[in-house]
Structure 1
Amino acid sequence: MAIMALISCGPLAACKDPVETRREPASDAKERGLAAIKRAGCGSCHEIPGLDWPAGRLGPSLEGFDDVGLIAGELPNRPDVLAAFIRNAPSVKPGSTMPRMPVTDAEAEDITAYLYGLDHD
C-alpha cells in the first residue's frame, strides 16, 4: 500500500511549486519589459495581460506565466531559460514555431521580468 502511494505521488515531485518559485521583479524592469513587448510585436501571437492590442491567439496566452511549470512544454521555467527562449526560441528548443525575436539580451531580460511580474489573481 505504501509503495502504491509513493508511485502515485512521484509525478507530483516534478511539478513546479508556484509559491516557492514566485518572483517579484523590479518595477522599472517590468515597465521596460512591456515597452519591449510592444516594440517587438509579441502581442501579434500572444495574449498578454497589460497589452490591449493586438491580442494574438496563434501562440499561448501568457497570462499567469509565472505559474507555468514548463516553457514550451519542456524547458524549466527559469529566468535565464526564458530570456534565451525569448531571444531565439529555435536555438533553445529546436522545432519551436516561435521565431527568433528582434530583441537584445537586456530587452529579453526585461520581458522576462514583465512576464514573471504579472499580477496573480
Structure 2
Amino acid sequence: GKPWLRVNSDYARVNVERARRDPASLLNYYRQLLTLRRASPALRQGRYRACDRAGEVFAYERAAEDQRMLIALNFSSRPASINLEGEWRVRLSSITRAEAKVNHTLILASNEAVVLEQ
C-alpha cells in the first residue's frame, strides 16, 4: 500500500540507524531506562512513595528487598535541588553525567531527569 505520510525531508540525517550509533541519542537513553527497569526489583514492583517537593520538581521513591530507587524530574527551566537522606548513586541521567555519588543534596539541571539508587 501507499503510506499516508510522506518521508520527512531530513530522513537521511534523522533516522533510527543514526540514533543507534549515537550513545547520547534519545533512542539509546530509552533503551538504558528499559535495561535499568528490567534489572531493578524496586523499579519493577517496589513500593511507591511520593517525595514532598514543591515547585516544578516531581520526585518519588520505589523500594523493594534491599534496593531503594529515587526518580527525580525537574520540569523547570532553572536548576533545582533536592535534599536527600544518606548517600545515593546516580544510575541514569537525561544529561551527560557519570555514575557519581550524591550526598545529602542533588542538584538537578534544568529539565533534567535522574534515577538514583541507594
In the superposition, the TM-score normalised over structure 2's length comes to 0.31
More helix by share: 1
Bigger-Rg structure (1/2): 2
Structure with the bigger RCO (C-alpha within 8 Å, sep 6+) is: 1
More strand by share: 2
In the superposition, the TM-score normalised over structure 1's length comes to 0.30
